[in-house]
Chain A
Amino acid sequence: MAQKLVSKIPEGPLEQKWTRRKKEMHLVNPNNKRKLEIIVVGTGLGGASAAASLGELGYNVKVFCISDSPRRAHSIAAQGGINAAKNYQNDNDSVYRLFYDTIKGGDYRSREANVYRLAEVSASIIDQCVAQGIPFAREYGGYLANRSFGGVQVSRTFYARGQTGQQLLLGAYASLNKEISHGTVTSYPRHEMLDLVVINGEAKGIIARNLVTGQIERFGAHAVVIATGGYGNTYFLSTNAMNSNGSAAMQCWRKGAFFANPCFAQIHPTCIPVHGDQQCKLTLMSESLRNDGRIWVPKKMEDVIKLRKHEIKPSQIAEEDRDYYLERRYPAFGNLVPRDVASRAAKERCDAGFGVNETGKAVFLDFSQAIQRLGRKKVAERYGNLFDMYEKITDSSPWEEPMMIYPAIHYTMGGIWVDYDLQTTIPGLYAIGEANFSDHGGNRLGASALMQGLADGYFVLPNTIGDYLSHKIMEPKTDINAPEFAEAERAVQARIERLFSIKGSETVDSIHKKLGHIMWEYVGMARDEEGLKKAISEINALREEFYKNVRVPGTQYEFNQELEKALRLEDFFDIGELMAFDALNRRESCGGHFRVESQTEEGEAKRDDANFMYVAAWEYKGKGEEPELHKEPLNYEFIEVKTRNYKD
């Protein structure tokens, strides 16, 4: 089995690996490209940039999204920025430093070669985006502006107000539109992939449901690219969009693609706290706020009590009575420690009883000093739209009182296992962006998700997929009447019919909420063996309840959002269980994965490099069977592996 995990990392010095790999690759000539078909599922930064770039190259591309337009993909909601090693600030930034920060930020659980390539192409991304007309923030002289993000000591983040993801996605979407108008790309909005079709061990197409008519449709190709994002919504409450889901990844997993490091989920420290139980979605407040905002809770318990009773306002608490706990614990990085560290520190203060709202699950993010130092105009230019958004939601103005924030599920570092070429364990199946696992290790740094999505889509995949397709130039169009397509369609149809036949009394959302509670309680910010085992048994019990008691109204052949949700929830059960399995296996604390059994005396995460310096890639073994673990060892040839230190 072990030979299945061939990472294909090229030999040679780190800075020559990508060049060397590109040199080795076979090419496809323009006449042949026209005959080759590629399916891209998902239209976020990864999917849209890949589909556009593949269309430009002359391939025949079909692109699918579940929304009414490719522009709605959840990349659009990324706020703060995108990293690139331009060193425009002359602050001694470099490709090496971006590479190093990313490896360290990921707590030494990502591949050196992949991360170096990411840093290497980062500068080209900014060039590309500016050429597309993306209005990045500028200095008065007309040059590009930068800001700083967590886990780094340079300013390398490019941004467009607090809407960087939106602008980058609109750029990729515009490129996609250009290719659609040229006829190289065909767009299928409101289509949801429901299965992968594998013929003779190779990915050859997908089964999708037309979400308007409800028809099940077959689509064939010479290769399939999964760009469907992460699985944060397993937790029900997260910063992900309501329709974000991990179903395509699970379909690939069940068809033989390995799934790597599922337990690595990122909990973002600065989200608007949960209010009541009617909520369905958590809102992120950009990490960029930590550039100028200071995080604190009161030092004295009596102040906490008064705050909760609304007897005093936070601004009335004297400076010396405030505990700026990140600055206290991590002097070198202060409020700009990485996300996992900041989240755990907030939890620590709240668990100790210092949470500042009624639920005891909130800390302050304070701009009063920044407003004094920079003036209202400057602060408004940097964060105005975020302040407005906060005020709309909470009815409280950050100009007058500090924001209240608390950690929430935000991003998943784990994903479909891919080799250096971004190919999965199924030949012809590729995974890019958040849907794969490769670049962020145990924790992703801020402003690096946009970078990775676009690096994969614009600069990596268009090269690597050509190497695979060069061997397919004589292969005719995939026949969608092949028995494998018929079989996959039958299975999808059976799945849908089963859901309608249950006719229970519980709604999909009410069961999903229960799954979310299990996940947050036992597979959340702190995990231990007992809790994880409990999570697995509770998920299984809940799955049984789902199949006995869910109610899916309406019919298949209509626009039916409840059916969509029910199908996704089936897959969230599988992911949740897989996350718990992986978390149970990884008996170390690492990045966003904190095992209570593995911590230092000061309560900091304790990694176990001797036993866990590997990628955990899980293989599906059938319904109800335990997945099989495959290990890809991580070799650090070029950097020294250290304990992460953000203190000095």
Chain B
Amino acid sequence: MNFNVKVWRQKNAKAKGHFETYKISGIESDASFLEMLDILNEQLIREGIDPISFDHDCREGICGACSLYIDGRAHGPDDHVTTCQLFMRHFKDGATITVEPWRSAAFPVIKDLVVNRGAFDQILQAGGFISVRTGSAQDANNILIPHDVAEESMDAAACVGCGACVATCKNGSAMLFVAARVSSLALLPQGRAEAKRRVQNMVAKMDELGFGNCTNTRACELECPKGVKISHIARLNREFLKANFRD
């Protein structure tokens, strides 16, 4: 297959970015989108052009590193996949494909398609944990968790922290990301002790870092590669109200 790849090029955080278009041919339809970029980079290096920087690692859809905005969609035209699990068979032969980084004030561009998502780490550092010290846990089966509750907690815990929810939201809101963590822990008995502090601190940190507000457009849910549902945002809101009502 042959493509025109229109890519956002930006030398560094301070530089002004622009689009460049490159031609690439001979791509197998079973190749992944990132393999296509690998091949394009090989070509660019041989032509003496600086290769395109992009984040990637596991290439199995689980590490959450890859983060490309392709043809106007976070992670591209397939549903519920990360960019690394997007395959070229989803594109028309000869198509022009537009590739951009995540666009969000909270995720500044480092170079080309690479952004800084350190804000996510900071939100989790504000309270996305259960304060248990190594060695102080009781026997695991002393905490009974009904099957369906564990499954629902797992649905939220499946979040890979890629940032597609933020990139796709017209408000640049991180609500789905925050909700995934808050909801996953709030559902479990172990997570209840700190539930109030957790939700207050994480929401405050999210606001402080410049993420937008949630207006329930559900765009995040559509683009989440792990299918995290906005019902978790509803739980986050309930937890937040409960916590503040008590104050």
Contacts and interface: CB of A to CB of B under 8 A. Distances in A.
Interface residues of B, number: 80
Given A56-B133, A72-B64, A280 B38 contact: yes
Contacts of B32: 393
Interface string A425-466: 000000000000000000000000000000000110010000
Given A52-B134, A68-B65, A393-B87, A130 B190 contact: yes
Interface stretch (B51-59, B167-175, B211-219, B229-237): B51-59
Interface string B37-79: 0110110011010110101111111111100000000000010
B118 to A, nearest CB: 7
B35 A86 contact: no
B188 interface: yes
Contacts of A593: none
Q: Is the interface of B mostly helix, strand, loop or mixed?
A: loop
Given A131-B137, A189-B118, A138 B146 contact: yes
A76 B59 contact: no
Contacts of B89: 395
Given A558-B12, A561-B51, A138 B58 contact: no
Contacts of A67: 57, 63, 65
Interface in A124-138: 124, 126-138
B125 interface: yes
A206 to B, nearest CB: 22
Most B C-beta atoms less than 10 A away, residue of A53, A137, A167, A170: A170
B247 interface: no
Given A140-B146, A507-B45, A562-B51, A69 B137 contact: no
Given A163-B158, A275-B30, A558 B124 contact: no
Contacts, number: 221
A307 interface: no
Interface string A324-350: 000000000000000000000000000
Nearest to A170: B157
A278 B87 contact: no
A276 B134 contact: no
Contacts of B57: 67, 72, 74, 241-243
A358 to B, nearest CB: 12
A509 B42 contact: yes
A562 B41 CA distance: 10
Interface string B127-162: 111111111111111011111011101100110110
Most A C-beta atoms less than 10 A away, residue of B41, B45, B133, B191: B45
Interface of A: 49, 52-53, 56, 67-74, 76-77, 86, 88, 124, 126-144, 160-161, 163, 165-167, 170, 173-175, 177-178, 180-181, 187, 189, 212, 241-243, 275-276, 278-281, 283-284, 389, 392-395, 458-459, 462, 505, 507, 509-510, 551, 553-554, 558-559, 561-562
6 contacts: A128-B137, A133-B184, A174-B128, A395-B87, A561-B51, A562-B45
Nearest first, the 8 A-B pairs at minimum CB distance are: A142-B144, A131-B137, A174-B129, A127-B137, A135-B153, A130-B140, A135-B154, A138-B150
